[in-house]
Amino acid sequence: MIIIKIKDEGCRLTHEQLKQLGQPYYSTKTKGTELGLMISFDIIKRMHGKHKVSSKSDEGTCFILQFPYVMKP
C-alpha cells in the first residue's frame, strides 16, 4: 500500500462535520462549494483506495489516504 498523510493544525472538526465531508455543497467555509472533496473521494474510490479523516482538539485534522501499490512490468 502507498500511504499519504495530510495534516493541518487548524480548528478541530466536530463529529457531525466529519460525517458531512465529501457531500455535495457541504462546506465549513463561507465561500466555496466543497465539490473538491467530493470529487477527490470519488477519485480515491475509483483507484481502489481508501480514505480516513480524523480531527482532534489542539491537533487539527488529519487525512490518511491509502492506495494499492501496483508495479508495472
Percent of the chain with pLDDT over 90: 45
Model pLDDT, residue 61 = 92
| Strands of 60-67's sheet in order across | 2-7, 60-67, 50-56
Q: Is the pLDDT of residue 52 over 90?
A: yes
Q: 60 CB contacts (<8 Å, ≥6 apart)? A: 7, 8, 9, 10, 11, 12
pLDDT band of residue 19 (cuts 50, 70, 90) is confident
pLDDT at 24: 81
The three-state secondary structure class of 39 is: helix
Element (H, E) at 4: strand 2-7
Using a cut of 0.85, tell me whether the model's pTM lies above it: no
29 has a pLDDT exceeding 80: no
